[in-house]
Amino acid sequence: MVSGYTFFGDGYSGLDVGSCLCQTLFMFDDIDITPQKQPKKPRDLSGFSVDDLNNYIAALTDEIARAENERTRKKAYLEGAASLFKKT
C-alpha cells in the first residue's frame, strides 16, 4: 500500500474515496488534453510545376473571395440583428 493506494493487477482497490485528492486524480484520467484543431502544415510546393502553381494560386484566390463574401454576409446579418436591439 502506497499513500492510500493498494494495487491489484491493473485496477485500484482500497482507495480513500472520501479524499478530494483521490477523486480529482481519477476524474481527469481519461481526458484527452491534446488540442482538437491542429494547425495545418504548409503544403510542399516543391513538386509543383509553374502551371500547377498558377492553378493552385487561382484556387486559393477563389477560396479567399468565397471567405470574404461569407464574412460580409455575416457582418450584415449581425448589424441587422444589432439594429433590432438598439436603444433609442
pTM: 0.51
pLDDT in tens, 27-61: 555 666 776 788 888 999 999 999 999 999 999 99
Q: How far apart are CA 19 and CA 4, in angstroms?
A: 10
Cell 493498494: give the residue: 6
Give the span between the Cα atoms of 86 and 65, in whole angstroms: 31
d(CA 30, CA 17): 18
pLDDT tens string 7-23:
455 555 555 555 555 55
